Structure 1
């Protein structure tokens, strides 16, 4: 599989990083509309558990075919990240899409960079400049507007999408912590944590409302194939490759195109039309993400230019 390149190299060139980030944004951005179609025929946790349980062995098989080892140095790390990032982010995000709107869920989940900022500040003592805090505050305002516009009926999907973003941010920081300590090969780690996440979600399927028997229609099979192969095997590999090579904040901001693509594709393909107040909130969040990216770029440029 061409996308599975040699992940043992320590760095990625700027051009390769850009190609990977743009490709990842397109795959994940359009996936929100695809997932909404698939969830018409399946419950959210069921759909997500299937994608992970199928994708994990495929990724491990690719590693074996390349002559690599599929053993982990730290199984405990894969269990923790699998529960927090995969079960938390993928599972809650799918339920949010099931009961809400795909485009809105995409934008709210991609508040993840701001949660990376906040969690890094609270638990790691990482400092951020005023521009990034301004962006985070704007995102908070936008999220509040979206929540208010949706009313009581849409509160649960909105809350779940936001919590999915928090789980994603937590997974980023946890993975980078474990990767520095143990140095597991990213593809192998990604596969095992996917399997843990898929099995964890499977345990909760009987207790979650909205889970029901699968309707094996051509639309469902097509959506699940896209989700499993492109949005999971390929995209999760690329994600772990990036966060093992680049700083967490840079990676988080690098995929800022994805929520815009998710919103646009849901508008076009699913005819999702946000109400005026909701559209304003979503627009503020997208602006905040872009402003955050600009602030992060300015910071990285200043650090690079500093003497010594």
Structure 2
């Protein structure tokens, strides 16, 4: 019984992480009623970086920065580009659709790891990429003229940027071995500074400091960027990698359902079919149900 308690707690943490991150896409869509996309992203990640540095101090971990150039590149990809493009995509795109396209990250990560880290593309991964391509085609429906072209491309670009940040992070871990919290805090700081510069340069609507905006900002900083990240560490420490990968399958699907229930963004039949193919592709890429971690 005692041995099963850590695993049970990790499963609970996994479910909580999925729900928090999924709902954050709805929140990100809602706050656009009160602020421009880059102002919100900049505020969120400046405050998020401060929280992570506070966590470093609280856990008595080193505040020494990882190698500057690799960490800067991670920050520009994983924070600036992923969050900036994702928030921008939400200006004209639905929360569920944008989340789903952004969470195609694992597919781009497989391709980038093949090109940059020379990781072998196994038949299973090729199968996953093929299923993902079918799913994306169903979701985007190019025979209808791509629908909202800008939002679609921005969301896919956000996922690709996140994938590049993930691959670059893996390379830094391999060569320099920083702690996950240390690397995350510093890359978020660098990425947040870039977001601040973009927010100052791009004309946007003025921020309306309503309770709705403050609540959305608080949720994004405290829940999505801090608590959920801590829960995710628990998941990674206690569960097999293949099981933990379920988070990447669950978040966009729950986001679609929450956007349907809260924002009345009802997915079309082709989008539902596309979601099914994307899920199959993610399962193939991650190896969930096919191997033991």
- Output the TM-score relative to the length of structure 1: 0.83
Question: Who is 1:175 aligned against?
Answer: 169
- Which one of 164, 174, 190 corresponds to residue 184 of structure 2? 190
> Does 1:81 find its partner at 2:84?
no
- Quote the residue 2:3 is aligned against: none
- CA, structure 1 residues 53+217, in 2 after alignment: closer, same or farther (shift >3 Å)? same
Does 1:225 pair with 2:201? no
Change (3 A) 1:107 1:84: same
Of 163, 182, 195, the match for 1:201: 195
Contact residue 59 and residue 187 of structure 1 kept, 8 A: yes
User: Deviation at 1:96?
Assistant: 1.1
Which residue of the partner structure matches residue 281 of structure 1? 274
Consecutive unaligned residues of structure 2, counting only runs of 5 or more, are 1-5
Structure 2 equivalent of residue 7 of structure 1: none
Q: Which sits farther off after the overlay, 88-97 or 121-130?
A: 121-130
Q: Check conservation: 1:176, 1:243, Cα contact below 8 A.
A: no
Q: Counterpart of 1:31?
A: 24
* 8 A contact 1:176–1:244 mirrored in 2: no
Any residues of structure 2 matched to 1:1-308 within 5 Å, and which?
Answer: 18-148=11-141, 151-208=145-202, 211-238=204-231, 254-293=247-286, 295-299=287-291, 301=292
Task: State the shift of 1:179 in Å.
Answer: 1.6
Query: Which runs of 5 or more residues in structure 1 are unaligned?
Result: 1-12
Change (3 A) 1:65 1:180: same
Is the contact made by 1:81 and 1:174 (CA closer than 8 Å) also made in structure 2? yes
Change (3 A) 1:115 1:51: same
Cα pair distance change 1:287/1:32, threshold 3 Å = same
**Aligned partners of 2:17, 2:181: CA distance in 1, in Å?**
15
Deviations 1:198-222 (A, max 9, x none): 111221225546x321111111111
* 1:207–1:140 Cα change, 3 Å: farther
Shift of the 221–151 alpha-carbon distance from structure 1 to 2, 3 Å rule, reads farther
Deviations 1:275-305 (A, max 9, x none): 3333332332233223444x35424x2xx7x
Contact 2:141–2:147 (CA under 8 A) maintained in structure 1 = no
The alpha carbon displacement at 1:33 in A equals 0.9
**Residue 125 of structure 1, CA deviation:** 2.1
Deviates more, 1:138-147 or 1:221-230: 138-147
CA distance in 2, matches of 1:136, 1:177: 22
> Using the alignment, how far apart are the partners of 1:252 and 1:165 within structure 2?
16
Shift of 1:183: 2.0
CA spacing shift, 1:172–1:19, aligned 2, 3 Å: farther
Q: What's the Cα RMSD here?
A: 2.7
Q: How many residue pairs align between the two structures?
A: 287
- Residue aligned with 1:298, SS: coil
